Copies of this chain bind each other. A is one copy, B any other.
């Protein structure tokens, strides 16, 4: 399970449309489809209902959308902060 897959999921969860989401993720519709399937399989959780014409979030999908959004935001903050610490560290010791 990758951070990238979670980001793909978040985009699809907002767009609810594979083609449009594929454009936003800069991968093909086919790759996106398989990444989402692979995420669902690894979680053992169905995230979307696809009835060939429509994509919508399941209850679990809605839940994870909210949680993942916060989590990814925090992750990015932490990484930015860690980068700052690295600079301080390099100034001090190298």
Contact = CB atoms under 8 A, between A and B. Distances in A.
Interface of A: 1-4, 43-46, 58-60, 63-64, 67-68, 71, 74-75, 78-79, 81-83, 85-86, 88-89
B1 A59 contact: no
Nearest to A82: B60
Contacts of A44: 83, 86
B58 A86 contact: yes
A55 to B, nearest CB: 16
Contacts of A67: 74, 78
A67 to B, nearest CB: 5
A60 B63 CA distance: 31
